[in-house]
Amino acid sequence: MNLNVQNLGFAHGNAPTLEGVSATFEAGKFSVILGPNGAGKSTLLACLAGLRKPSSGTAKLGDEDITAMPAPTRAKRIGLLPQGAETHWAITSEALVALGRIPHARGAGASADDRRAIAAAMSATATDGFAQRPITQLSGGERARVLLARVLAGEPEWILADEPLANLDPGYQLDILDLLLQQARGGKGVVAVLHDLHHAVRFADHVVLLHQGFVFAQGAVDDVVTARNLATVYGIDALLSKDEEGATQLLIKGKMRS
First to last CA, the chain: 44
CB of 113 to other proteins, least distance (A): 16
- Interaction mask 122-161, other proteins, x per CB under 8 A: -------------------------x--x---x-------
Establish if 245 lies at the interface with other proteins (CB under 8 A): no
CB of 196 to other proteins, least distance (A): 22
Indicate the residue among 123 and 136 with the shorter CB distance to other proteins. Answer: 136
CB of 13 to other proteins, least distance (A): 10
- Interaction mask 67-86, other proteins, x per CB under 8 A: ----xxxxxx-xxx-xxx-x
Q: Which of 192, 128, 190 is nearest to 166 (CA)?
A: 192
- Interaction mask 173-212, other proteins, x per CB under 8 A: ----------------------------------------
Establish if 54 lies at the interface with other proteins (CB under 8 A): no
Q: How many C-beta atoms surround the C-beta of residue 172 within 10 A?
A: 18
Could you list the residues that contact other proteins (CB under 8 A)?
Answer: 46, 49-51, 71-76, 78-80, 82-84, 86-92, 95-96, 99-100, 102-103, 105, 147, 150, 154
